[in-house]
Amino acid sequence: QVQLVESGGGLVQAGGSLRLSCTASGRFFSSFNMGWFRRPPGKERAFVSAISGNGDKVYYADSVKGRFIISRDNAKNTMYLQINSLKPEDAAVYYCAADRVMFRAGIRTVENEYAYWGQGTQVTVSS
């Protein structure tokens, strides 16, 4: 079982930056590919970014490429999402998630491939 806790959300002006963290419990954090998803107000949850277990592969949704940076520190059981050049459309509840399969070779972008979820952290963007 993997338990995830997000932090770092808040109110930021458009154009600003924010770093989200996702801390995992358990000893096998590095065995899981990890992902970030977000749910904007009134919309469905959508894929944002993902990273392989050892951090050598990353993947981004087109809408965040060049602005968001995903990373992880396996020694700290923590994944990060650096959000730069915030836009009003980035406002959402951000969720971190762990792949349902350990040591999976490929990164997944679909929700149902992730079995473990955090409670979410709110990012609000003021214009």
Query: Which of helix, strand or coil describes residue 89?
Result: helix
Query: What average pLDDT does this structure show over 90-116?
Result: 96
Q: What are phi and psi of 30, to 5 degrees?
A: -70, -10
Q: What tokens were used for 87?
A: 């836009």
pLDDT above 90: residue 106: yes
For 19-73, the pLDDT digits (tens) are 999 999 988 999 999 999 999 999 999 999 999 999 999 999 999 999 999 999 9
Arithmetic mean of pLDDT over the chain: 96
Angle value at C-alpha 43, between 39 and 47, nearest 5 degrees: 45
Distance, in Å, from the CA atom of 96 to the CA atom of 55, rounded to the nearest integer, reads: 15
Distance, in Å, from the CA atom of 89 to the CA atom of 112, rounded to the nearest integer, reads: 24
pLDDT above 90: residue 127: no
The percent of residues above 70 in pLDDT, for the chain, comes to 100
